[in-house]
Each structure stands twice: as C-alpha cells, then as structure tokens.
Amino acid sequence: MLVIECGLLIDGVSDEPHHDVAIAIEDGIIVDISDRGAFASDNHVEHDVLIPGLIDAHVHLAGVRSMNPMEWATANVSTMTARATADLRKLVAAGFTAVRDVGSSTGLGLRTAVEEGEIPGPRVYTSGKSISQTGGHGDSHFLPYEWAKTRAGLSTIADGPDECRKEARKRIRQGVDCLKIMTTGGVLSEKDAPDQSQYTDAEISAFTEEAHRVGIPVASHAQGAAGIKRALENGVDTIEHGFFLDTETIDLLLETDATLVPTLAIMHRLVTEGADHGVPEWGLEKSRAARRDHFDSIRRAYEAGVPIALGTDFIGPDLVPHGENMLEAELFVEEIGMTEMDAIRAGTSVAARTLPDDNVGVISNGAVADLVALESDPLDDISALRRVETVYRDGKRVLV
C-alpha cells in the first residue's frame, strides 16, 4: 500500500481545502482518505500541496509544428505521431494526467501506446478525426475538394443525415471516446465565419443518436449563438469555444446541463502573438474581432452558473505548445473573474464531465490515484499550478 501525506489537499470538488491529510492507495486506486498519520506503510511519501491530476478537455494531439493550415493538411502522419509522443510527455510533466483529443489522426494510436505503457503520458480520450460539412470549419478550404474530401487535415467531411450517421458509426467502430462535430464556422478556417451556423437539425441528431446509443458524448465546435443553440437542441453534450453567447444560449446551457469548454488560451495567444507565428491574416482578423465578445460571453456564463471546463485548443506549435496549458486556468482567474478554487475545479471535476469515465478529476475513495504535488498553494496564486513537483498516474510516479 502506498501512503501519500500532505499538508494541504484540494480534492477537486469541495469549496475549501483539507489540511494534514493521508491518502491510502492500492493497485492505483484511492482506497481511503484520513488524517495524517492514520495509515502505517513502508511505502510512504510526503508533499506540501496535493491536487487531482489536471484534465485538458480540448486539445489536438496533431503533432504539428506550424500555424500554417497547409501543414496540418499535408504533414506525414508518422512524423505527426512522433511529435505528438513528445507532446504527451510535456503534458504529463505539466500536471495533466488526462486529455480529451478532439480532432487528430494520431489520437487512437497514442491512446493505445499510453495504455500499454510504451510511452509516458496522460490518459488519452479521443474523437479521432473531427467531422465537418463541406465548406465547414473542418474542411481544408484552400485545397481542391477531392483532396480535402479524401485525405487532408484533422477532419473528415460528411453531408446529409445518412452520411453523418455512417461517419459516426465509422468512428464508433474505431473505438473513439467521443464524437467531435462542427456546428459553426471558425477563425482558423478560411472561407467561413464564427457566427455562421453549420449542419442541420437532422444532421446533428444523426450524430448524437448514434453516439448516445453506445454511451459516448458529442462535442461541438460552436462559436456563434445560432450554431450553439442548434447543437444543444439536438443533444450535443459539450460546447467548444462559445464566442457569442446570448441570454437564450446561456439559459439553454443550464437547461441541458451541457459543459462549456471556452478555450480562452488559444484566442489569447492568437490575438497577442499570432502575427509573429505565421497565423494567416484572415485568421488574425477574425480572432481580433471576436476576442472581446468571447471573453465577455464566458464571464456571463460563469456568473450564471454554467459548468465551465478547462480546455486550451493547443495543437503543438510554439504559439500554442503542449506543456503551457496552465495558461487557461490563469486566464479564468485574471480575465473571467473565477476564484482560484473554481479555476482548479474547471481543470479537474468539471473537466471530467466531458469524459466517459467518472473516477478521474477528483481525490476521493474509489477514484484513480492521478495526483499532482505542487511546490506552493494555488489558492494563493493560480500560477502555482505551473510549479509541479511530482505527478502520479495510477499511484505511480510519472518519469518523463
């Protein structure tokens, strides 16, 4: 039995931290939690501050190293996989013990390699490639349609309810953990816009019916209000980005108990540094135009009590590198007005809502022993989340 004792424990759920705590772990599972000194064991470790392993609920394990969408569409998959393997090491070293990959050609293979213990990394939950309509956010607009349709990018294309249903079934056959669809345009797709609605009610319903039949959630890239509403009305479980939330969409998020994953970090980086990293001018212009509304929408959603999960939309290049994902929690506190505790919960128990597992993101009896020891208290300064001392996965110290 491993016993970990700490002076300060944040369990991912409670409003207040716990002090002088001992955690008993057997076979990678937390079997008991009590006061310091309660358990006798030869295998004993002490830390000052302990939190649950963090979850980034929106990443792309794409292994790209450029902000040029042409590279995303044409890069060699084996090269991307090798780079993404390095990214997994960076993520787990930064305290992320689980990630939700919502659009890549590498996620399924990486998930297997991590599960088999071949490479260190967080738990990988993946949609495989995301799914877009023709001309939608996931279409490679700059390529001939035949190329985009058959082999390009981080998405595949499906149109009409029957084709959408079949594409969902293909993903389920591959063994994905969720589906990722696009119900609006976006800032990094050339010929559409964030406020443009994509996919019809019947098409969205085809995706959600197939996914929910086998018990997996559906995530939707949804930035404009019309596309957000359409997604929620047709059963989507998580809204990614949420740039333009009006009162009706916020009410609908609450009514459906959907989770909002804002991905403020990528918007912040696009606006503040994107011009220095090769982001196309059309992407910069759309990001600058949307930033104020985006951040304001998330403030209002937070104040209304919408469940908000930490997700960065980081993809790998120097502008948005894996390993710096704690930026999202800092933006929650500094820009949105979250308490430090709420920002931590956004990256633990709330982010866990986006996953098909119910035993991650918390420190409690029966949960997996995914834990992060910090050098200082993040309730005093949220940037303490960056100062990681030790990471445990399944009760074992992660060595990267």
What are the pLDDT digits (tens) for 292-342? 999 999 999 999 999 999 999 999 999 999 999 999 999 999 999 999 999
Please report the DSSP string for 231-258 in residue order: HHHTT--EEEE--S--HHHHHHHHHHTP
Residue 314 DSSP one-character state: B
Instruction: Tell me the pLDDT of the chain averaged across its residues.
Output: 95
Answer positive or negative: Cα dihedral of 313, 317, 321, 327: negative
> Quick check: is 219 in a domain?
yes
Same domain, residue pair 319 and 384: no
Q: Residue 6 contacts by C-beta under 8 Å, 6 or more apart in sequence?
A: 20, 21, 23, 46, 47, 48, 49, 50, 373
State mean pLDDT over 261-277: 97
Residue 188: CATH number of its domain: 3.20.20.140
Same domain, residue pair 255 and 155: yes
Same domain, residue pair 173 and 232: yes
> Quick check: is 357 in a domain?
no
Q: Residue 65 contacts by C-beta under 8 Å, 6 or more apart in sequence?
A: 71, 83, 316, 317, 318
Residue 392: CATH number of its domain: 2.30.40.10
Same domain, residue pair 233 and 318: yes
Distance of CA 76 to the CA centre of its chain: 24
Q: How many domains does the chain divide into? A: 2
Rounded-to-integer distance, Cα 43 and Cα 64, Å: 41
Answer positive or negative: Cα dihedral of 220, 328, 360, 368: positive
Q: Residue 211 contacts by C-beta under 8 Å, 6 or more apart in sequence?
A: 168, 172, 178, 179, 217, 218
Q: Say whether pLDDT at 152 is over 60.
A: no
The pLDDT tens digits for 340-368 are: 999 999 999 999 999 999 899 999 999 99
More confident residue, 178 or 75: 178
Q: Which of 99, 18, 115 is nearest to 54 (CA)?
A: 99
> Quick check: is 209 in a domain?
yes
The pLDDT tens digits for 177-225 are: 999 999 999 999 888 999 999 999 999 999 999 999 999 999 999 999 9
Q: Give bridge partners of residue 18 from the DSSP assignment.
A: 9
Q: How far lies 163's CA from each of 134, 154, 176, 315, 375, in Å?
A: 12, 18, 18, 28, 51
> Quick check: is 80 in a domain?
yes
Same domain, residue pair 177 and 144: yes
Rg (the chain; Cα; Å): 20
Same domain, residue pair 148 and 283: yes
Same domain, residue pair 8 and 106: no
Distance of CA 341 to the CA centre of its chain: 19
> Quick check: is 181 in a domain?
yes
Q: Say whether pLDDT at 275 is over 90.
A: yes
Rounded-to-integer distance, Cα 257 and Cα 360, Å: 19
Same domain, residue pair 48 and 58: no
Enclosing domain of residue 37: 2-52+362-397
Same domain, residue pair 269 and 201: yes
Rounded-to-integer distance, Cα 47 and Cα 5, Å: 6
Is-contact 137 189, C-beta < 8 A?
yes
Strand order in the sheet with 179-182: 155-157, 130-132, 179-182, 218-222, 238-241, 259-261
Query: Is the overall model pTM greater than 0.85, yes or no?
Result: yes
Same domain, residue pair 225 and 281: yes
DSSP-based three-state secondary structure for 299 = helix
Report residue 217 as tokens.
């959630």
Q: How far lies 25's CA from each of 34, 39, 160, in Å?
A: 12, 11, 50
Same domain, residue pair 59 and 135: yes
Same domain, residue pair 377 and 341: no
- Percent share of the chain, pLDDT over 90: 90
Neighbours of 235 (CB within 10 A): 17
What is the pLDDT at residue 256?
98
Rounded-to-integer distance, Cα 156 and Cα 49, Å: 44
> Quick check: is 23 in a domain?
yes
State mean pLDDT over 220-234: 98
State mean pLDDT over 272-294: 95
> Quick check: is 368 in a domain?
yes
Q: Residue 86 contacts by C-beta under 8 Å, 6 or more apart in sequence?
A: none
The pLDDT tens digits for 96-109 are: 999 999 999 999 99
